[in-house]
Amino acid sequence: MEVIVARTAGFCFGVRRAVEKVYEQLKTGEGPIYTYGPIIHNEEVVKDLEQKGVLVIESLEELKRLKGGTVILRSHGVGKEIYDILRKNGVMLVDATCPYVKKIHKIVEEQCKAGRQVIIVGDESHPEVQGIKGWGNEDTRVVRDLSEFEDLGILEGSKLCFVAQTTFNYNKFKDLVEKIFKKRYDIIVLNTICNATQERQAEAMQIASQVDVMLVIGGRHSSNTQKLYEICRKECNHTYYIQTLGDLNPESIRSVRSVGITAGASTPNHIIEEARAKCQN
């Protein structure tokens, strides 16, 4: 059996950096260590950190009650309000926000001050998007497609700035802004989709189009993994979304000639290697 593992599969720069910061803090930090939300969308990594004593803060109210220890901000980033709360309460802050996400925060803050209405293209329930929105103002909006944008009822001639969630599907973003460009707005479009995301999606599509079975590995709550699954499913009918090797049904890869493997940005390399070895054996 031929097994093709995507070169871009696994931890991206931002996720690797965030995870490393937590382990570094475990070695050098004092007092209780917290992450605001799971450090990444991978249950295996989060469980390992919890076993080592890292506590996960799940809500804003819980964060507000915190008066000591160290809080690590995950790669998804947070809104300005979170920084203000931590500083006010004298809590030590370790900022593991992905630099690419930080760049969007700066853009949104600057464009709002310049008088443009910021439109974020992405999933409003995702923590990255919530963090980005937290650097905007009361007019900042989130949309996923053209119909959601049209529902906003923005007047023609309005000054708009479009940014994207770093893991949004590039082709969908491109299609959306091309359609909006045909309307009468004063528009600035900034493609803030991470290059690693674009490369990962393009490679996944290519591999899925040439194999009998495609495996997409990642956490159930990982936005970028879900998008990889959607892309691969269009190219390969036998595409399976798994979180660990235990989710893989051996019958799904039995008697096939080729298997492709890709993984989301929060998937550790050892899980990818386990899947590769299982397919080859």
93 & 171 share domain: no
Total of domains in the chain: 3
Q: Are residues 211 and 179 in the same domain?
A: no
Q: Please say if the pLDDT value at position 57 is more than 90.
A: yes
Range of the domain at 215: 2-10+196-280
Cα separation, 127 vs 39, whole angstroms: 11
pTM of the model: 0.82
Q: Is 44 a catalytic site residue?
A: no
Among candidate residues 207, 199, 212, the one with its CA nearest the CA of residue 232: 207
| Nearest Cα to Cα of residue 104 among 39, 230, 227, 197 | 197
* pLDDT value, residue 104: 98
Q: For residue 50, what is the domain's CATH number?
A: 3.40.50.11270
pLDDT tens digits, one per residue of 214-245: 999 998 888 889 999 999 999 999 999 998 88
Distance CA 14, CA 110 (A): 23
Are both 20 and 79 inside the same structural domain?
A: yes
Please indicate, yes or no, whether residues 144 and 80 belong to a single structural domain of this protein: no
Quick one: 80 and 56 in the same domain? yes
- Same-domain status, 206 and 274: yes
> pLDDT band for position 29 (50/70/90)?
low
* 3-class DSSP assignment, residue 14: helix
Digit-coded pLDDT (tens) for 71-85 = 999 989 999 999 999
- In eight-state DSSP terms, residue 237 is S
DSSP 84-146: HHHHHTT-EEEE---HHHHHHHHHHHHHHHTTPEEEEES-TTSHHHHHHHTTS-TT-EEESSH
CA distance 33 to 53: 7
Angle at 59 between CA 149 and CA 241, to 5 degrees: 65
Calculate what percentage of the chain has a pLDDT beyond 90. 72
Q: Does 78 lie in the same domain as 18?
A: yes
Does residue 272 lie in a domain region? yes
**Is the domain of 130 the same as that of 159?**
yes
Please pick, among 128, 203, 235, 251, the residue that the annotation labels catalytic.
128
